[in-house]
């Protein structure tokens, strides 16, 4: 099961990278198009959709790798038991907040599909299509936080904590 979770997080990170490459290619196409006198229709819209997708799909992978910014100045000074309690409380709050956000994003995709909403750009795109990566990214982050919460409850160190500790040892 752990192998499947790790592949899910890696896939999420790879998709985020794919959308960053898509942004780059869209911008290059616009620049080349201006040089040769043609336009790339709705390039700004597609770049915006790719930005949202890369941001949200990258959240779970970044969380697992310890890349999110945390205030470790105080946390590292805690002894193991208070630190574990603090981690459990924070992860519980984050999990419940992300449950709400996951539901809201998924419902937004559903409503956009049911009401057949489309973008206002040059190329009308059904809005549920670019909203799917946002919802999937939030759900993946929710699962990563749940996974970290379970590790803390079991008395293990979450993966992001291991990365932070490794970085703090390098600074010393």
What backbone phi and psi angles, to 5 degrees, belong to 118? -130, 160
CA-to-CA distance for 143 and 9, rounded, in angstroms? Answer: 9
Query: Domain coordinates of the chain in residue numbers?
Result: 2-171
Residue 168: per-residue pLDDT: 61
Cα Rg of the chain (Å, integer): 20
Tokens representing residue 19 in the block: 């959308």
CA-to-CA distance for 59 and 48, rounded, in angstroms? Answer: 17
3-state SS class at 77: coil
Residue 2: per-residue pLDDT: 80
For the chain, 172 residues long, give each residue's pLDDT as a single digit of tens.
688 999 999 999 999 999 999 999 999 999 999 999 999 999 999 999 999 999 999 999 999 988 877 777 777 788 888 989 999 999 999 999 999 999 999 999 999 999 999 999 899 999 999 999 999 999 999 999 999 999 999 999 888 877 666 666 665 5
Give Cα 77 to chain centroid, integer Å. Answer: 29
Residue 172: per-residue pLDDT: 56
Beta bridge partner(s), residue 126: 118
Helices (H), 37-127: 43-64, 72-75, 80-114
Residue 165: per-residue pLDDT: 65
Give Cα 103 to chain centroid, integer Å. Answer: 15
Nearest to 125 by CA among 29, 18, 48: 48
Tokens representing residue 138 in the block: 């939030």
Residue 13: per-residue pLDDT: 96
Is residue 20 within 8 Å of residue 56, measured between CB atoms?
no
Is residue 50 within 8 Å of residue 19, measured between CB atoms?
yes
């Amino acid at each position: 099961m752990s192998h499947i979770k790790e592949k899910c997080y890696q896939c999420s990170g790879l998709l985020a990278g794919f959308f960053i490459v898509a942004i780059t290619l869209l911008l290059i196409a616009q620049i080349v198009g201006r040089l040769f006198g043609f336009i790339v229709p709705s390039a700004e819209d597609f770049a915006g959709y790719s930005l949202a997708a890369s941001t949200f799909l990258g959240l779970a992978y970044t969380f697992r790798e310890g890349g999110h910014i945390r205030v470790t100045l105080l946390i590292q000074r805690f002894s193991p038991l208070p630190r574990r309690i603090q981690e459990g409380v924070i992860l519980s709050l984050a999990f419940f907040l992300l449950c709400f956000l996951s539901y809201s994003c998924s419902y937004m995709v559903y409503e956009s599909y049911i009401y057949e909403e489309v973008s206002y750009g040059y190329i009308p795109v059904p809005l549920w299509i670019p909203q799917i990566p946002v919802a999937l990214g939030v759900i993946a982050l929710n699962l990563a936080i749940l996974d970290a919460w379970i590790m803390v409850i079991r008395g293990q160190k979450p993966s992001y904590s291991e990365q932070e500790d490794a970085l703090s040892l390098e600074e010393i």
